[in-house]
Amino acid sequence: MIDLRSDTVTRPVQGMLNAMLEAEVGDDVFAEDATVNAFQDKIAALFGMEAGLFVPSGTMSNQLGLAVLTEPGDEILIDEKGHVFNYETGAASFLSGIQISPVAGKSGKLSVDHIRHKVRGNYDWEPVTKVLCLENSTNKGGGVCYTKEELVALKAFADEQGLFVHLDGARIWNAMIATEIEPEFFGRVSDTISVCFSKGLGAPVGSMLLSTKERIAKARRYRKMWGGGMRQVGLLAAAADYAVEHHWSLLNQDHQRAKEFAATVSECAALSIDLESVETNIVIFDCLNEAAPSALEKLAAHDIQMVQFGPATIRATFHFQVGDEQLDKVKSVIKELFN
Ligand SMILES: *Cc1c(COP(=O)(O)O)cnc(C)c1O
């Protein structure tokens, strides 16, 4: 089976398992896990942030970020394709008592023009617009990335309006490879950042919230409250650290393979794709003559898995456990089925 459903389907490699076996661990609820402590400091420093908090999932790190930046009744602005709005089971309203204002942007990205008139006035009867939530790279938007200029403009607008910026960087590792923007830059344009180690980097578990020491201390309390305080979790931090050290640089190959795959899709008469949108490891395309489930069934009959992303829309996501041999097979099957 060639699994292109997501970049979360990778299995730990032997080197990663060895790193886990060798990890020095302690009780992280007591903040005594040396591997976790060192890893939190390392990733925080990488992004030019004061502190980090290792958590089980990207959903938890996003929600912790929003919890420490808001009060109940506040509102956050996010692109209507955003993960926090679509794929976190309504957690922001449940956990933080905040409401989400989804904004129509472009490919999951917002610009100052999109949000200029979305910030509320200072009236007793309106929610307080508190956070601008950005996603980089975008998931539902097809893996596109913000440029430096776009982020600088958004941060300037946020500062002017008194908004915090939360950056959902589940795939920031892909964005950094694709755009060659240095990690510290993202620390300068964000108040909180969530990064994931279990997407293309290939760790089995783990995300991290990055921010100031004060906010991270507050997030620690919420993490415990929400049941995310873990014990000898250096085992997982060791896997995540291995992923950053050994797999980050591999993302470039995923991006190249995604582009090659997208080029094949663009040559098929029964498919349509916007090639410009393929900036990283995600490829979203449309079926012209059939619904997505029927196309996915045909692919599955050839041992290829992708996911439905709309009535006639499909997403394929590349990761380091899909190599050139598998890519060649996928390309020839796509041509055979859809051309
Ligand atoms: C995967 C993802 C997350 C986090 O998801 P979890 O499954 O909770 O780890 C957050 N944001 C984006 C954009 C994602 O793609």
Using pLDDT thresholds of 50, 70 and 90, give the confidence band for residue 154. Answer: very high
Mean pLDDT value across residues 221-246: 98
What pLDDT is recorded for position 77? 98
What pLDDT is recorded for position 93? 98
Residues of the chain with CATH 3.90.1150.10: 250-338
- CA-nearest residue for atom 2, ligand 1, is 170
Per the CB < 8 A criterion, the answer to whether 169 and 210 are in contact is no
Q: Which tokens go with 240?
A: 């995540």
Using pLDDT thresholds of 50, 70 and 90, give the confidence band for residue 73. Answer: very high
What pLDDT is recorded for position 131? 98
Q: Which tokens go with 251?
A: 């993302």
Dihedral of the alpha carbons of 172, 178, 179, 183, in degrees to the nearest 10: 40
| Cα gap 167→314, rounded to integer Å | 26
pLDDT digits 0-9 by tens, 28-58: 999 999 999 999 999 999 999 999 999 999 9
CB-count burial class (<10 Å; 0-12, 13-18, 19+) for 79: buried
Using pLDDT thresholds of 50, 70 and 90, give the confidence band for residue 14. Answer: very high
Residues of the chain with CATH 3.40.640.10: 14-246
Mean pLDDT value across residues 326-336: 98
Q: Which tokens go with 67?
A: 């919890």
What pLDDT is recorded for position 231? 98
Using pLDDT thresholds of 50, 70 and 90, give the confidence band for residue 239. Answer: very high
What pLDDT is recorded for position 214? 98
For the beta carbon of residue 46, count every other beta carbon within 10 angstroms: 18
Distance from residue 83's CA to the centre of ligand 1 (Å): 7
The DSSP element (H or E) to which 168 belongs, if any, is strand 164-169
Is the minimum distance from the CB of 241 to ligand 1 under 6 angstroms? no
Testing ligand 1's pocket by substitution, the residue of 9, 139, 195, 284 carrying the most ligand atoms inside 8 A of its CB is 139
Q: Which residue has the tokens 């582009």?
A: 259
Considering the domain delimited by 14-246, tell me its CATH architecture. Answer: 3-Layer(aba) Sandwich (3.40)
Helices (DSSP H) in 27-165: which residue ranges? 34-46, 58-69, 83-86, 91-96, 112-115, 148-161
- Main-chain phi, psi angles of 32, to 5 degrees: -115, 20
Q: Which residue has the tokens 């004061």?
A: 50
- CA-nearest residue for atom 3, ligand 1, is 58
**Pairing of β 75-79 and β 313-317:** unpaired
Mean pLDDT value across residues 291-309: 98
Amino acid at 183: P
Using pLDDT thresholds of 50, 70 and 90, give the confidence band for residue 170. Answer: very high
Testing ligand 1's pocket by substitution, the residue of 199, 223, 307 carrying the most ligand atoms inside 8 A of its CB is 199
pLDDT digits 0-9 by tens, 98-146: 999 999 999 999 999 999 999 999 899 999 999 999 999 999 999 999 9
pLDDT digits 0-9 by tens, 194-224: 999 999 999 999 999 999 999 999 999 999 9
Is 3.90.1150.10 the CATH classification of the domain at 250-338?
yes
Report which DSSP code applies to 194.
E
Distance from residue 85's CA to the centre of ligand 1 (Å): 11
